[in-house]
Structure 1
Amino acid sequence: MEQTWRWFGEQDPIPLDHVKQTGATGVVTALHHLPAGQVWQPEEIAKRKHVIEEAGLSWSVCESIPTEDSIKRGDANARRAIDTWKDSLANLGRAGVPVVCYNFMPILDWTRTDLMFRLPTTGYALRFDMIDFVAYDVFMLKRNRASQSYDPLLVEKAEQRIAGKSEEQKKLLETNIIAGLPGGASAQTRSSISSLIESFQGIDDETMRGNLFAFLKEIVPVAEEFNVRLAIHPDDPPFPLFGLPRVLSTASDIRRLLAAYESPANGITLCTGSYGSRPDNDLVAITREFAHRVNFAHLRNTTVEPDGSFYEAEHLEGDTDMVTVIELLLREEEEAGRQGRRPRIPMRPDHGHLLAGDIDRQTNPGYSYNGRLKGLAELRGVIRALTRGI
């Protein structure tokens, strides 16, 4: 597998020189400085590509072209947004960027309730606490009929939990939850969140799935024309939030996605952490069934608790058998290489614990240097050992 590293551009506190020191050869990035809704022009793409290549690295994956909510809703603005997306995809393909990761989650790209969950190791991890989330949804955001979305016992526990929080703790919880919203905590208010959620009223899973399949029929031919492999990211977490639809959370969802457009260009991002934070997802079975359509891999691990809460575990610990998942991907890669079906699968260590000197430094949540470096080293060791066996 090609070892890559996510980099957020020139504003990333981790420079490309430090990325190269990790042993990664590829960079996963996007034009984060450009506002959503505009075409990524060839000049901007070329600038980013030049900076990466000047550092002795390659732009291996674009993560991600923003997928506007109008596409997910299928509303009157969807046509313009789809055309913009297709133009950006074509320009990336012309520039030689081989993989584009994207997601189809409404409003939120990811959700956690705690960005500084202290571990027994004294490092810090990202955590999703189900009771805290229910407490926010029902008793702080006060979404209409929110309590009906959850088990009554969970709502009762959430009411007790929120009653024991100080105003400062409530504010931090809200800040953490909306960090995954467009613009993050600095751009959103409780009122704006409610408005965004309201904009999806009447859109259920099947309606949004239909909009996703219609989107595939538009973008996959462009990907094929310009030799780009698409890799859709799963829902994170893979269950409903705020009563919003979910369309890529289970193996059944993947089957329907791949059947909607049969093409090697229509593939998935195997995010072991996202799929793995749902107890009924068997990551080994998912990898075995869909390895031939894995165009990108996010390798991370999670530990799931009985009430549905989870936290980011060590890369080789947690609930997912990471060694077997990697072995299956390597075997697919080796077989595909013999047949000339595909190049190597790019992978990156997804998320990492906040460790040592990084604790007091500016970092993007989940994207500290030392934690990901540790994860990449562990994954590289597994890959090296398995490759000798294969």
Structure 2
Amino acid sequence: MQETWRWFGPNDGVTLAEARQAGATGIVTALHDIPYGAVWTEDAIRERQAAIGADPALELRWSVAESLPVHESIKIGEGDLEPLFETYRTSIRNLAACGVTTICYNFMPVLDWARTELHHRLANGGRALRFNAHEWAAFDVLMLERPGAEADYQPVVMERARAWFAASRPSDRDALLATVMAGLPGAFDRYDIVGLRGMLDRYRDVTPERLRQTLKRFLEAVIPTAEAVGLRMAIHPDDPPRPLLGLPRIVSSADDLAFITEAVDSPSNGITLCSGSLGSSVDNDVVGIARRFASRIHFAHLRNVRVEPDGSFMEADHLDGDTDMVALVEALLAEQGRRKAAGDPRWRLPMRPDHGHELLGDIGRTGHFPGYSATGRLKGLAELRGVMRAISRLRDLPL
């Protein structure tokens, strides 16, 4: 697999040289300065490519666009969407013209990934991202005051939520809101409580079935263009794969992925296999999902989580969570081998280590985005590389 590294552009505190030192050859990035619903121009794309290739000795290239955002109006299905569809199609054409031929995107309403702690202290002194079910319930029920929200949580979770809220200070609640918003690293919208209520109100009539249909409409509008220019679209699963704040989530299970891949049956309509997102639900067999949808996986985020009985979860070491990472890597390498044998010129699957712990010099270092530390991801990539090399040797599979 091609080893890649997410880079948030010139404002990222982790440098391209550090990405290369970690062993990556591909860069995963996006034009975060361009508002949602605006065109990614060829000039802007080439400017980012020039920044990635500024030091030829690093031999880095832009491998995957993550993410080309989907405008909220498309998800809601409100207004005349054709101009937004055409903007997205134009960006697809421009990326393909510049040689970037894989797009990772998501269809999560309002929020991207959701956590309640960004620097949870580990026993070894490192730091990790964590989702505490009771803190999320406190945010939803007691801070946001969403009508009917309490029914979404177990009584034991609500008991802990009320205890947390009673003991919290205004600064604790502000920090929790900031943490919830941190899941939108490239977004222009950062909501306060009032603003978030307004966004939720826009979704008040959006059921899971309606959201599925707006996704299908989006796919029907853009996949033919992607196929025509040889570009692969790879939808990212919901993180976590469950309804949040009363919002439907429709990329959470094997059934959801089946609906998506069948909605527009094209090799350009594919999946980002994020083992941590899917693995945050005990109902998902991540390795089984990888095997079932292998031919439609166009990108892989390899990370691991440990899930707790109340629905809380935490980022684990890459090889030490609930997902059998060795079996998962074996499934992905087997699919690579199939593609190579079939003569696919793009048989090598891009992957990246996702959501590394903060370790060593990461701790206290400023400038990196939550989950995207330097040393933690280097460690994860090194571990995954070792697994790939061993499986490749034992199974005679191409790297």
* TM-score normalised by structure 2 residue count: 0.95
- 1:322 to partner: Cα distance: 0.4
Retained in 2: the 8 A contact 1:28–1:62? yes
Using the alignment, how far apart are the partners of 1:121 and 1:80 within structure 2? Answer: 51
- 1:150 to partner: Cα distance: 2.3
Correspondence 1:258 to 2:258: no
Correspondence 1:50 to 2:50: yes
Using the alignment, how far apart are the partners of 1:86 and 1:192 within structure 2? Answer: 30
Retained in 2: the 8 A contact 1:107–1:182? no
Q: Percent identity?
A: 49
Q: Kindly provide the CA deviation profile for residues 159-194 of structure 1, in whole angstroms up to 9, marking residues without a partner as x.
A: 222112222222211211122248779932110011
Counterpart for residue 171 of structure 2: 168
Counterpart for residue 359 of structure 1: 363
1:305 counterpart (304, 308, 325): 308
Using the alignment, how far apart are the partners of 1:28 and 1:181 within structure 2? Answer: 16
Unpaired runs of 5+ residues, structure 1, are none
* TM-score normalised by structure 1 residue count: 0.97
Counterpart for residue 159 of structure 1: 162
Counterpart for residue 280 of structure 2: 277
Retained in 2: the 8 A contact 1:284–1:325? yes
- The structure whose RCO (Cα within 8 Å, separation 6+) is larger is 2
Moved more, 330-339 or 54-63: 54-63
Q: Kindly provide the CA deviation profile for residues 24-78 of structure 1, in whole angstroms up to 9, marking residues without a partner as x.
A: 1100001112222210111111111122233321111000111111000010053
Q: Kindly provide the CA deviation profile for residues 332-383 of structure 1, in whole angstroms up to 9, marking residues without a partner as x.
A: 1011101023421100001100111111111210001000000000000000
Using the alignment, how far apart are the partners of 1:153 and 1:202 within structure 2? Answer: 30
The alpha-carbon distance between structure 1 residues 210 and 285, as it changes in their structure 2 partners (threshold 3 A), is: same
- The amino acid that maps onto 2:272 is T
Using the alignment, how far apart are the partners of 1:273 and 1:118 within structure 2? Answer: 19
The alpha-carbon distance between structure 1 residues 313 and 21, as it changes in their structure 2 partners (threshold 3 A), is: same
Correspondence list, 1:158-307, <5 A? 158-181=161-184, 187-307=190-310
Moved more, 152-161 or 213-222: 152-161
Using the alignment, how far apart are the partners of 1:144 and 1:83 within structure 2? Answer: 37
- The amino acid that maps onto 2:9 is G
SS of residue matched to 2:306: strand
Retained in 2: the 8 A contact 1:107–1:181? no
Retained in 2: the 8 A contact 1:239–1:249? yes
- The amino acid that maps onto 2:176 is L
Using the alignment, how far apart are the partners of 2:382 and 2:80 within structure 1? Answer: 45
2:380 counterpart (375, 383, 386): 375
Correspondence list, 1:318-357, <5 A? 318-341=321-344, 342-357=346-361
SS of residue matched to 2:258: helix
The alpha-carbon distance between structure 1 residues 155 and 100, as it changes in their structure 2 partners (threshold 3 A), is: same
Q: Kindly provide the CA deviation profile for residues 305-342 of structure 1, in whole angstroms up to 9, marking residues without a partner as x.
A: 00000000000001000000000000110111010234
Using the alignment, how far apart are the partners of 2:375 and 2:266 within structure 1? Answer: 38
Using the alignment, how far apart are the partners of 2:25 and 2:227 within structure 1? Answer: 25
- The amino acid that maps onto 1:253 is D
SS of residue matched to 1:121: coil
Retained in 1: the 8 A contact 2:25–2:60? yes
SS of residue matched to 2:265: coil
Unpaired runs of 5+ residues, structure 2, are none
- 1:156 to partner: Cα distance: 2.9
The alpha-carbon distance between structure 1 residues 104 and 116, as it changes in their structure 2 partners (threshold 3 A), is: same
The alpha-carbon distance between structure 1 residues 264 and 343, as it changes in their structure 2 partners (threshold 3 A), is: same
Using the alignment, how far apart are the partners of 2:144 and 2:188 within structure 1? Answer: 14
Correspondence 1:27 to 2:44: no
Counterpart for residue 7 of structure 1: 7
SS of residue matched to 2:211: helix
Cα RMSD for the two superposed structures = 1.5
Using the alignment, how far apart are the partners of 1:364 and 1:120 within structure 2? Answer: 22
SS of residue matched to 2:321: coil
Counterpart for residue 41 of structure 1: 41
Counterpart for residue 387 of structure 1: 392
SS of residue matched to 2:53: helix
Retained in 2: the 8 A contact 1:99–1:295? yes
The alpha-carbon distance between structure 1 residues 344 and 332, as it changes in their structure 2 partners (threshold 3 A), is: same
Retained in 2: the 8 A contact 1:276–1:282? yes
The alpha-carbon distance between structure 1 residues 84 and 186, as it changes in their structure 2 partners (threshold 3 A), is: closer
Correspondence 1:122 to 2:125: yes
Moved more, 253-262 or 161-170: 161-170
The alpha-carbon distance between structure 1 residues 262 and 116, as it changes in their structure 2 partners (threshold 3 A), is: same
Correspondence list, 1:81-96, <5 A? 81-96=84-99
- The amino acid that maps onto 2:170 is E
Correspondence 1:110 to 2:113: yes
SS of residue matched to 1:281: coil
Using the alignment, how far apart are the partners of 2:306 and 2:185 within structure 1? Answer: 27
- The amino acid that maps onto 1:327 is E
Using the alignment, how far apart are the partners of 2:287 and 2:361 within structure 1? Answer: 35
- The amino acid that maps onto 2:4 is T
